[in-house]
Amino acid sequence: MLFPLILQRIYDDKSAQEEIIRASGLDWTIVRPGILTNNVPTGRYRILTDTRSWHGGFVSRADVTDFLVRQISDDRYIGKTPVLIG
């Protein structure tokens, strides 16, 4: 019961920030990593875009970085909010 009360403001802020990004008129991708780890990069992370397939998971910071760098030249996820998990 206390958990939602503490996090509600954080989620409200996140939602407001994302709405600003969506309304900006710019190309955007909002990446939602799973629980971040300091593990080595695997290159085998999963990219979930269907909300029915979203679930918790772990992903290394290095794999998130790999995904972000690849998005510089890949427009497949523009206007989307992919979830990354290992």
Question: Is the pLDDT reported for residue 3 higher than 70?
Answer: no
Residue 11's pLDDT band, with cuts at 50, 70 and 90, is: confident
pLDDT at position 51, please? 74
Question: Is the pLDDT reported for residue 1 higher than 60?
Answer: no
The answer to whether the CB of 29 falls within 8 A of the CB of 78 is: yes
Secondary structure of residue 64 in the 3-state scheme = helix
pLDDT at position 6, please? 78
The residues spanned by each domain of the chain are 26-85
Task: Read off the pLDDT of each residue in 29-50 and give the average, rounded to a whole number.
Answer: 94
Question: Is the pLDDT reported for residue 84 higher than 60?
Answer: yes
Question: Is the pLDDT reported for residue 39 higher than 90?
Answer: yes
